[in-house]
Structure 1
Amino acid sequence: MIDEARRRAYLGAMQVVSWLPRVALPFAAPPRPELLEPLEPPAAPAAPVLRSDAELKVVPEVPPRQRPVERPKIEVPRPAARIEAPAVAASEGAVEPATPKAVPLPPPRFALQLLRAGRCALLVELPTGDSFQSRDPAYLLLKDLLRAAGLPDSPRPLGEPVRWPLLRSGSLDQGPQAAREYVQTFVAARLEEEACACLWLVGLPALRFAAAVEAEAYHRELRIEGLPPLWALPGLEALMEEPACKAELWRTMRRVRMRWISVNE
């Protein structure tokens, strides 16, 4: 036999809430006969107590809230919105790509002077942008070149220097193509007045905008329609700074100078 505590533990594990042994158990708690008595029936609900009219509180009747009279709305006729029909392509399913606008190139900056020395004309880059002075090192080198070529060493200018851009501001196109057309037209007009046997192009701007060539054309003879035979030379400053350019110039001059040496020599 087991004691009461372990018995309750077993019964709790088996989820037995109430139980009644058939015989008296040893070591059990004393019996409680009141647990076996039937429960009392529930009491009936109390009847409602009626009150007289005097005891009832009179609540004043609140009239319903009247809604404000709405004013009739006057609609002002408005013009109908214009609906634009989408543009119909010429052929169904064909979409024309947008043509990108050409961005104008910035105007180049240079200054050129056209000179005349004997039977030759010279389109020379002005290193400082101003006309040559008698004591300028670049001008003294140019005089040496003319003496070595058998030409007068005091060239005379043909017109004013060409300075580009022509205008500091404005909507006029002053890009490289416009500069090239201007320089070629300027030189051709001056040389129509006085024909020459050879045109020297001295400096990279002279090559670019009179003959549309780059530095690889140095020390070469060129042909451009509407102009006399051309001879491409480096700029005067480059000749002073690079002795190798000067040596190459002397070699090519021996061949090119035959174009302007007079028959009497």
Structure 2
Amino acid sequence: MTNRSYYAPTGGLPPQQQLLSDRAVFTEAYAFIPKGVLRDIVASRLPFWENTRLWVLARPLSGFAETFSQYIMEVSPGGGSDRPELDSGAEGVVFVVEGELSLTIAGQRHVMAPGGYAFIPPGSDWRVRNDSDAPVRFHWIRKAYEFVDGIDVPEAFVVNENDVEPDPMPDTENRWVTTRFVDQEDMRHDMHVNIVTFQPGAVIPFDETHVMEHGLYVLQGKGVYHLNQDWVEVEAGDFMWLRAFCPQACYAGGPEPFRYLLYKDVNRHMPLNASPAYRGR
């Protein structure tokens, strides 16, 4: 796959002359966060992170999407954290969209460029640093790992998208492909974070309606999404947050590929109560 790019927000503030209306939407079935709302005044900070700010794209909300959180992190030169994750039960995925990130897991250092992907198991000893002279921006997706008796916790790994061969969807002539970083049959993993790519004009030809929650961040290009009977135009930098069973389909606009980073929860029974003990802890 060629012609890859990754959109990253830079913050700032619109001029006073700009109209207030924008494309942002929050409904009972989905939320749409356009890139234009990721401004300085809505950035957050985290404990034990230096020279770092972030935009929170998703967090568990009762009655909405409940399984994950997603941040866009911006770490300035010299910044980072030796205590990035304070929840010992949280797993994570890091995906770099701009700059160079130094990630150390269990004493092994990895230098991650754009397209770099890391899976971080719960309870890991890890840290991140920006040892370069420019900001680094990356997605950090977090989920409470659902332990299952008799199934091991998956190990950490680091890879780059450029080294993973995408899987074509059947009967699409390679116009719709998915870059999968984890084997779908691997029951150790309870979430998948993939990259979906559509060539201009390609479509999801039906309204998917399923139990998996989604976070979809548009990395490149533009398209039109059908969300719960609404048609929503999307472009690089936009984020869609879909609760379970929200109908969804799309078609890709041109002239470049339409690509997004996709989260979904997988491979576990549906919990029948909210007790943490039910989940095997």
Fold similarity call, TM over 0.5: no
Instruction: Provide the TM-score with structure 1 as the length reference.
Output: 0.25
Structure with greater helix percent: 1
| Structure number, greater radius of gyration | 1
Query: Relative contact order: is structure 1 or structure 2 higher (C-alpha 8 Å, sep ≥ 6)?
Result: 2
Structure with greater strand percent: 2
